[in-house]
């Protein structure tokens, strides 16, 4: 592989291109796609087989291409907490990941490396671990099987199954261990808040890290006309995710209405135990990941903050959940 795609923010921070950043990425985000579309056909993804979106896009972010050597050299001089490699589902890309990871490990010292991977096979996970990858992201994306089939599975002629993704999650946990696997969940595909919270609980019980994304409509994808999730709903799920991941509550403790909306957290003054340094409303996933404005424009509304909130921003986000009444 002679070239590699780099997220816009990463490229600017690496001084590979000029641009303005509202927030600097703390992880270097790289994309391997060999300038060819993914074999999968996820309805929300610009890289999908039938997508009409420019192939340089993933979510709403552009990923310009640079020579691999130039990227590796720039990373040697840069200050990042982690490198995250995004892979499309193509056999040539998956095989090439070994060479790219090896070059990064040889050149960039002991920096943490993550791979965001389609559900593939244990042989890849074992090889990545041997090359020094410390975390893997599994893209479950949907919070129930019906939606999964609709946006990733047979309804879009995709290669994925609900059972296969859970099997891949268990395989990655066996290889990397608890706390070393993140599970990507997209909020806003038509699921209920109960659906998302139930999957979050299952992920936490298995020992993985639930990582939340807000659905982002991208022109040229099958879901380009679908609306973003309501901000109040996303805030409630962020709060539930934080409390479940910290093992303060279980999903069975939470109270939902008949539509599956979270309406009450039955702990006295639960919100007083939270503060702006807890990361409740910031990007969640691998340590060091902040994914600036991956789901939203900098002008807002902001779903995942790429930085620790001020006290004022934190109170605003709490109020947006409609779960608490504050003075």
**Alpha-carbon gap, residue 154 to 159, rounded angstroms:** 7
Give the pLDDT of residue 1: 66
DSSP state, residue 300: S
**Alpha-carbon gap, residue 236 to 187, rounded angstroms:** 11
Domain ranges of the chain: 3-320
Give the pLDDT of residue 56: 95
**Alpha-carbon gap, residue 13 to 27, rounded angstroms:** 10
**Alpha-carbon gap, residue 244 to 235, rounded angstroms:** 14
CATH 1.10.275.10 applies to domain 3-320: no
**Alpha-carbon gap, residue 206 to 187, rounded angstroms:** 20
Nearest to 285 by CA among 81, 78, 24: 81
Token code pair at residue 224: 């380009």
Token code pair at residue 197: 């919270």
Q: What is the DSSP string of 186-228?
A: EE-SS--HHHHHHHHHHHHHHT-EEEEEE----TTSTTTTSPP
pTM for the predicted model, two decimal places: 0.96
* Residue stretches of the chain with pLDDT short of 70: 1, 326-327
3-state SS class at 93: helix
Q: Are the CB atoms for 151 and 44 separated by under 8 Å?
A: yes
Give the residues across from 114 on adjacent strands.
84, 135
Q: Considering Cα of 296, then 24, then 72, then 17, what sign does the dihedral take?
A: positive
3-state SS class at 175: helix
> Tokens 């620790």 identify what position?
308
- How deeply is 229 buried, as exposed, middle or buried, from its count of CB atoms within 10 A (0-12, 13-18, 19+)? buried
């Amino acid at each position: 592989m002679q070239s590699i795609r780099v997220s816009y923010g990463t490229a600017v921070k690496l001084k590979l291109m000029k641009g303005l950043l509202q927030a600097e990425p703390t992880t270097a985000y790289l994309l391997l796609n060999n300038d060819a579309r993914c074999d999968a056909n996820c309805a929300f993804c610009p890289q999908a087989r039938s997508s009409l979106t420019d192939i340089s896009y993933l979510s709403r972010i552009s990923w310009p291409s640079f020579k691999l050597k130039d990227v590796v050299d720039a990373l040697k001089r840069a200050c990042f907490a982690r490198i995250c490699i995004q892979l499309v589902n193509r056999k040539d890309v998956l095989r090439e990941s070994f060479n790219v990871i090896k070059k990064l490990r040889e050149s960039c010292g002991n920096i943490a490396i993550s791979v965001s991977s389609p559900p593939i096979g244990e042989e890849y996970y074992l090889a990545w671990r041997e090359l020094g990858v410390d975390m893997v992201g599994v893209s479950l994306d949907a919070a129930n099987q019906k939606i999964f089939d609709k946006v990733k599975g047979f309804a879009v002629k995709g290669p994925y199954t609900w059972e296969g993704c859970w099997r891949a999650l268990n395989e990655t946990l066996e290889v990397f261990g608890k706390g070393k696997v993140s599970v990507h969940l997209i909020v806003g595909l038509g699921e209920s808040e109960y659906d998302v919270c139930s999957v979050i609980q299952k992920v936490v019980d298995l020992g993985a890290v639930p990582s939340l994304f807000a659905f982002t409509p991208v022109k040229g994808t099958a879901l380009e006309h679908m609306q973003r999730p309501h901000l109040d709903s996303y805030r409630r799920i962020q709060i539930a995710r934080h409390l479940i991941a910290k093992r303060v509550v279980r999903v069975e403790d939470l109270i939902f209405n008949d539509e599956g909306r979270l309406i009450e957290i039955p702990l006295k003054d639960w919100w007083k135990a939270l503060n702006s340094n807890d990361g409740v409303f910031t990007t969640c996933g691998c340590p060091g990941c902040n994914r600036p404005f991956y789901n939203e424009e900098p002008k807002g509304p902001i779903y995942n903050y790429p930085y620790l909130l001020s006290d004022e921003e934190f109170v605003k986000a709490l109020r947006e959940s409609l779960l608490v009444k504050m003075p």
